[in-house]
A and B are shown apart, each in its own frame.
Chain A
Amino acid sequence: MAEADSGFNYDPTKNYDDQICAQQRDIEKQITDEQSLVSNILSFDVLKTEYQDDQVFQNKIQDIKSRYKHMRKTRGDGNCFFRAFGFAYLEHLLKDDSDFPRFKEVASKSKDELVSLGFPQFTIEDFHDTFMEVIDKVGNKISYEEFFQLYTDQGISDYFVVYLRLIVSGHLQKEEDFFMNFVEGGRTVKEFCNQEVEPMHKESDHIHITALTAALGVTIRVEYMDRGDSDKCNQHDFPDGSKPDIFLLYRPGHYDILYP
């Protein structure tokens, strides 16, 4: 009866995967149409409008506004942490290249490390090539406009994100003894990487950030804007006690970029 009422009769011999995928594609398309991969510089007024009737968030926006100049939004496609991280750090290197030689060396060595951990050389190379091309262009001091165009090219940007995901996966597996304590759901670190790290559009958590900052030697401050009672955002530095290179804003399920 219930099935008849809803107008849907489940047929166990039918393949519903395609329909589910099609629905998912529609949602993704809507997000793609409405949000750019990385936005231009924005004032915090956009956040104020988003949370008009919400006093908790209004207070926290005020707190952020007192400590940061402006922000930049990233597309809410599940890759936002990686996308924001890549953009913010490369932009940081464009302005201040003192860390560039160290970073470049870590980045170029990372391929052999991944291969030695058992990642397939053939496909790793494909992503690593693009990853290094982008980094080299930043090293060659391309203009901000060129960089913005490069990083918001979907193909290049996605390849960059994939490679960052692979670096996280590699680091988690290399430091398995440590990270196994933080993996939920009785999964092995390898299973966690297969399910939550390597596939595109999987959202990032504390564990991803810890691994990425450790693997690349880059420091991040995350400002947490959530429903908590306080008038101020909590902040967390990765790794603890470091001086941050880049600043990210976290709202439940999403990361954007902050500029002090």
Chain B
Amino acid sequence: MSTPARRRLMRDFKRLQEDPPAGVSGAPTDNNIMVWNAVIFGPHDTPFEDGTFKLTIEFTEEYPNKPPTVRFVSKMFHPNVYADGSICLDILQNRWSPTYDVSAILTSIQSLLDEPNPNSPANNIAAQMYQENVREYEKKVKVVVEESWIYIGDLQVS
């Protein structure tokens, strides 16, 4: 059945393939256009460099009028990412605009990695460390970068 959400997701996918933004990729899962898997590569010259972070994106029939739910599946250490992988990012909540597509969502999350917003912390330890002890913060980030390589599909939430 073609609904506006599904039609739009097909367009988003086509655009992502034809005009892929640097450092992110995403595709619908095999049997469900409403659930996507995505990968964000840690941006160069940041502590997240070389990380290959996996995410899931779940859309509702209200997309693009409502934002999808985006979660990191790979373990993440970041001031704006909760322990369950969900992300505190204004454009995914109250500042969502229907003009965003999957490409814009993923590049925004990619920018968030190196530009955290310590004022709305989802992970207090990470937020505090980011402000008070950058070296320790970077060490912790390095650990999740390395863990992102050996991810083998364990969905268990720590």
Contacts and interface: CB of A to CB of B under 8 A. Distances in A.
Given A159-B4, A199-B96, A122 B15 contact: yes
Interface stretch (B25-33, B39-47, B49-57, B82-90): B82-90
Most chain A CB inside 10 Å of its own CB: which residue of B93, B97, B122: B97
Given A15-B86, A126-B11, A166 B99 contact: yes
Given A200-B65, A200-B66, A17 B100 contact: no
Contact of A120 (B94, B101, B123): B101
Contacts of A159: 4
A67 B93 CA distance: 43
B98 to A, nearest CB: 5
Interface string B1-29: 00111001001000100000000000000
A140 to B, nearest CB: 22
B99 A120 contact: yes
Contacts of B65: 158, 162, 200
A127 B98 contact: yes
Interface residues of A, number: 26
Contact of A17 (B4, B8, B66, B88): B88
A119 B99 contact: yes
A152 to B, nearest CB: 14
Interface residues of B, number: 28
A123 B5 CA distance: 13
A17 B86 contact: yes
B94 to A, nearest CB: 7
B124 A200 contact: no
A171 to B, nearest CB: 15
Contacts of B15: 122
Chain A contact residues: over half helix, strand or loop, or mixed? helix
A197 to B, nearest CB: 9
A130 B86 CA distance: 33
Contacts, number: 60
B79 interface: no
B64 interface: yes
B143 interface: no
A15 B99 contact: no
A13 B83 contact: yes
B99 A123 contact: yes
Contact of B97 (A14, A122, A130, A198): A198
Nearest to A155: B4
A162 B98 contact: yes
A124 interface: yes
A123 B19 CA distance: 14
Given A120-B104, A122-B15, A162-B65, A199 B97 contact: yes
Interface in A91-144: 119-120, 122-124, 126-127, 130
Contacts of B123: 13
B13 to A, nearest CB: 12
A120 B86 CA distance: 26
B95 interface: yes
Contacts of A14: 82
B12 to A, nearest CB: 9
Interface in B91-129: 93-101, 104, 122-124
B123 to A, nearest CB: 8
A162 B97 CA distance: 9
Nearest to B91: A194
